[in-house]
Amino acid sequence: MTTTEQAVEEESWRGVAAEDNEELTNAVGLRLQARSRALLRSLLRPRLGMCLLAFALVVAENIVTLSGPLLVAEAIDVGIPAAIDGRTTVLTWCVAGYLATAIGSGLLRYLFVRVVATVGQDLLLDLRGRVFRHAQGLSLSFHEKYTSGKVISRLTSDLESIEDLLDIGLDGLLTAALSVVGIAILMLTLDLPLALFVLAGFVPLLLVTRWFYRTSNRAYRDTRGGIAKIIVQFVESMNGMRAVQAFRRQERNETIMSGLNGRFRDANQRALVVLAKYTMIVRLVGNLSLAAVLAIGAVRVVNGGLELGVLTAFLLYLRRFYDPLDEVAMFANAYSAANAALEKISGLLEERPDVAEPAEPKPLPAAADGREVRFERVEFRYSADGPVVLPEFDLTIPAGQTVALVGETGAGKSTIAKLVARFYDPTKGDVLLSGVPLRSVADEDLRRSVVMVTQENFLFSGSVADNIGLGRLGASRAEIEAAAEAVGAAEFVEKLPEGYDTDVRKRGGRLSAGQRQLVAFARAFLADPSVLVLDEATASLDVPSERAVQRALETVLADRTALIIAHRLSTVLIADRVLVVDGGRIVEDGSPQSLVDQGSGQFADLHNAWLASLA
């Protein structure tokens, strides 16, 4: 009763989300499996030789290991009687042989483990590189809908589940399967009736194993889901601790956490009990077979139908026959986790970038004072069946011109800016840079020519200098400092405990939003692009910083093309030309002065309202 209440409770506070795609139809499930199998094949193909070597090693090891009890049987049945007669050769050979199998199997196991690990690690490295490069290559539209958290887990926890399988599961299963088969064959050749008896006990065990595999799969999936929810709840509480404390969310949080914690505990208990049942049954069948073999074997030895040594060998084999089954438990968990991970990873790898690198890039002509940006019959929508964001339009920005985009939130200003930086491709028409369509410009050339600075000012771990230096690979320290000086960032940087070498800490946590923005500006300045796009880039600066940036802009913008989105008119007024955007259309176009002089129109109204606010 209470658990259902909790479940309902949880559903309601969590809210509704679009993709709860955990529940899969059969058809989709099959397609997913086919997709992940194809990925697995492509990973294994280049390592086929090593895989075969590993297989050969494990077969050899099993043969060597399994010959041990045979030698014991031989020693008891042949060696001892011969030794009693004074001939110790057979006995000596048997013992020496046993010793050799011990050393041999140890050595072969060592080699096998090393080979499997090398294959596994190479495969992981390959997969890691592929997923990383792929994620980096995907367009921003993908990253916006796929949330950062999911991409991160594809590259971390999902890859770790695959590593876990390679680590604990795979060689365990291979060894278990091979030794069960090997022992079965040996027993059959040693003594058919006794072997059939043992194998008959194995049949119900296989059924139980199948039951266990399914049940534990479900139980382990619950534990994984449970801990994932705990992690989300925990991390979000810690990251939002200010709000949690200020709004007294602690107790509410504890109720939620204790629900999640309780469900995880129960799932864990279920998994433990399933495992307990399974190991009990395996051990029970094993021990009862032992008793039965003892009974039948003893009677047959007494009646002279069976050698004592063969019975001994049987008894020794029996233990080994049932032991590997314990590994099935670990394998089942690792396998189902890795399988789920592989499905998700193959899904990510299936995504195609909307903005693809050109197959045959065209070079950009040399440019001294900026570049011309031209929109030719451009139309844009975010997805093929989505609404039109920008209806077809033409626009030419001559080289060296500074253009300000003005308009309400959602009018389409940022979209225009992102098209220039080729974060998206237009649905129709082309954006041309110096007459070359952006789709044909190599990414490296494009990034050298066009740089976009947004309000989002992400810093990477490392020093302040590292973060500025990101603007241009191989920039010298003097150039980095000059860039900081130029945008007015030098003042605060020099006050930091270690100046330019100060570690910005995780995600720039050491700097304020305004300071991070100044670093982003310095970075863009250092990149020295011929086209600069600023999307609300001064919004988080305080007034003195903004003043510094504004002054810097006046010189920086002189010899390059610029597209500026700003809601502060002071920034807009430094532009040569203003475009007023409304509902995706350019409704006004002219110099700031000419638009104001018109007396009516959005820009003139905005300007008047602003003048009034200053009074």
Q: Is 244 in the site for other proteins (CB under 8 A)?
A: yes
Which helix (H) or strand (E) covers residue 531, if one does?
strand 531-535
Window 143-162: residues binding other proteins (CB under 8 A): 143-144, 147-149, 151-152, 155-156, 160
Window 430-469: residues binding other proteins (CB under 8 A): 443-444, 446-448, 451-456, 458-461
Place of tokens 């300000």: 404
Q: Is 136 in the site for other proteins (CB under 8 A)?
A: yes
DSSP tag of 365: P
Least distance (Å) between residue 30 CB and other proteins: 28
Interface residue with other proteins, options 38, 192, 298, 368 (CB under 8 A): 298
Interface residue with other proteins, options 3, 5, 13, 477 (CB under 8 A): 13
Q: Is 200 in the site for other proteins (CB under 8 A)?
A: no
Contact between 385 and 470 (Cβ < 8 Å) = no
Measured distance CA(209)–CA(289) in Å, rounded = 17
Window 396-435: residues binding other proteins (CB under 8 A): 408-409, 421, 423
Of 369 and 542, CB closest to other proteins: 542
What's the maximum distance between 2 C-alpha atoms anywhere in the chain?
126
Phi, psi values for residue 223, rounded to 5°: -65, -40
Least distance (Å) between residue 33 CB and other proteins: 26
Measured distance CA(312)–CA(335) in Å, rounded = 36
Least distance (Å) between residue 261 CB and other proteins: 5
Contact letters for other proteins, residues 479-518 (x by CB under 8 A):
-------------x-------------xx----xxxx---
Of 32 and 569, CB closest to other proteins: 569
Least distance (Å) between residue 401 CB and other proteins: 20
Q: Which strands form 428-433's sheet, in the order they lie side by side?
A: 388-397, 373-381, 428-433, 436-437
Contact letters for other proteins, residues 305-324 (x by CB under 8 A):
---x--xx--xx--x-----
Measured distance CA(66)–CA(490) in Å, rounded = 74
Beta strands, E only, 323-401 = 373-381, 388-397
Among residues 530, 529, 564, 527, the alpha carbon closest in space to that of 399 is found at 530
Interface residue with other proteins, options 78, 230, 587, 604 (CB under 8 A): 230
Q: Is 242 in the site for other proteins (CB under 8 A)?
A: yes
- Spell out the SS3 assignment of 159-177: HHHHHHHHHHHHHHHHHHH
Least distance (Å) between residue 497 CB and other proteins: 10
Measured distance CA(411)–CA(408) in Å, rounded = 5
Residue 54 CB-half CA count within 13 A: 19
Among residues 485, 465, 491, the alpha carbon closest in space to that of 544 is found at 491
Window 251-280: residues binding other proteins (CB under 8 A): 251-254, 257-258, 261-262, 264-265, 268-269, 272-273, 275-277, 279-280
Window 560-599: residues binding other proteins (CB under 8 A): 567-570, 573, 592-593, 596
Number of residues that bind other proteins (CB under 8 A): 171
Q: Is 550 in the site for other proteins (CB under 8 A)?
A: yes
Q: Is 218 in the site for other proteins (CB under 8 A)?
A: no
Measured distance CA(569)–CA(406) in Å, rounded = 9
Phi, psi values for residue 17, rounded to 5°: -130, 160
